[in-house]
Amino acid sequence: MRSLVTGGAGFVGSHLCEALVARGDDVVCVDNFYTGRRANVAAVADAPNFELIEHDVNTPLALEVDRVFHLACPASPVHYQRDRIWTLRTAVLGTMNVLELARTAKARVLIASTSEVYGDPLVHPQVETYWGNVNPIGPRACYDEGKRCAETLTVGYADQHQVQTRIARIFNTYGPRMDLDDGRVVSNFIVQALRGEALTLYGDGRQTRSFCFVTDLVAALIALIETPSDPGPVNLGNPAEITMVELAAAVLALTGATSGTRHQAAPIDDPARRRPDITKAQRILGWTPQVELADGLRATIADLGARLDPTSSA
Ligand code: NAD
Ligand code: UDP
């Protein structure tokens, strides 16, 4: 099996590359290092069945592969809002290029979509049949609408060109190798706690998210691409829902920090509640996330701590 992972030097992609290398696939990782890092794939860099190609998916590419995991796209609000037009280009044109690659190679392709296709959801928990509530002109639109369009392209290639496609709607995922500066809540809180700074709660902190540990997500991505037929979009995430106030308390307790919290203005269009209904994933993939939040946070704190202070043995 020859598997391509676009965005393979990113947070999720690097864990996926490792799992595929361990499974014995020949793995091709394509990344332009917009947010990814070579260090993320250091563990597999010397493996005989791993290859890293520096390439921007906005430029077409052709590779002979059997499986394509298309993850290349900035994912955190800070990064995807830095250049909104480029983000939209990557989500749309980049995805079209990858679908063309899959079509030419006759490969099966999984597209990393997102819970953001549901926007600020009016249906809770979110089921795959819900069409979402997205502001098309807000600061998150480049990502949300880009991913919605990526889904549209994906079903187009399946229907018009008989490409074998899978759509993963990924909910908030966390774990080791999160970028220290990408502004996501888990990495922000851990870095702030380890630095003895107050944790920044945006808005009143009563908004909710549901956090999935990265190894659970990777297992689901691999299971989804191997489903014998296209089940349509599948939510992948951990349904355990918590408020940001509760998350801050958990991080403070696990790090032993006494720095407390401070409130900042809520971002525009920040979704108020988010929790996946994973009934479909459980039925089709026989998958349920295994890692409890406290355990996953401990592993993430150890990794971010070691990177913040390379001299420590954390
Ligand atoms: P990340 O930013 O760590 O990884 C994205 C990777 O894609 C990086 O290595 C980056 O350099 C690369 N990339 C970006 N644009 C590219 C381009 N034009 N050409 C080539 N490479 C490019 O983010 P992540 O958290 O690992 O997310 C991976 C995928 O999963 C993304 O598609 C994201 O939308 C999706 N997703 C992630 C989450 C999450 O919570 N982590 C949630 C929903 C969806
Ligand atoms: N958030 C926060 N403090 C931070 C960073 C984020 O309170 O330092 C909040 C943010 O407003 C959102 C939630 O945490 O409600 C998750 O934010 P993140 O950027 O991690 O992911 P997303 O909004 O894409 O789900």
pLDDT in tens, 82-119: 999 999 999 999 999 999 999 999 999 999 999 999 99
Q: For a substitution probing ligand 1, which of 4, 5, 6, 12 has the most ligand atoms within 8 Å of its CB? A: 12
Q: What is the pLDDT of residues 194-228, one digit of tens each?
A: 999 999 999 999 999 999 999 999 999 999 999 99
DSSP state, residue 122: S
Would you say 116 and 149 are in contact if contact means Cβ atoms under 8 Å apart?
no
Question: Where are the extended beta strands (E) located within the chain?
Answer: 2-6, 26-31, 50-54, 67-70, 108-114, 165-170, 173-174, 199-202, 208-210, 212-213, 234-236, 241-243, 261-264
**143 in active site:** yes
Q: pTM (2 decimals)?
A: 0.98
Answer whether residue 144 shows pLDDT above 80: yes
Answer whether residue 312 shows pLDDT above 70: no
Does ligand 1 have an atom closer than 6 angstroms to the CB of 58? yes
Q: What is the pLDDT of residues 119-131, one digit of tens each?
A: 999 999 999 999 9
The partner residues of 263 in beta bridges, in order of sequence, read 201
Does ligand 2 have an atom closer than 6 angstroms to the CB of 168? no
Q: For every residue of 86-115, which 3-state class applies, written as one string?
A: HHHHHHHHHHHHHHHHHHHHCCEEEEEEEH
**Mean predicted lDDT score pLDDT of the chain:** 97
Does ligand 1 have an atom closer than 6 angstroms to the CB of 114? yes
Tokens of 156: 């187009």
Answer whether residue 243 shows pLDDT above 90: yes
Would you say 211 and 296 are in contact if contact means Cβ atoms under 8 Å apart?
yes
Does ligand 2 have an atom closer than 6 angstroms to the CB of 79? no
Does ligand 2 have an atom closer than 6 angstroms to the CB of 170? no
Choose, from 80, 118, 143, 157, the residue flagged as catalytic: 143
Closest Cα to atom 14, ligand 2: which residue? 185
**Average pLDDT, integer, range 270-297:** 97
Closest Cα to atom 6, ligand 1: which residue? 7
Would you say 29 and 71 are in contact if contact means Cβ atoms under 8 Å apart?
no
Tokens of 8: 């393979």
The ligand minimizing its distance to the Cα of 184 is 2
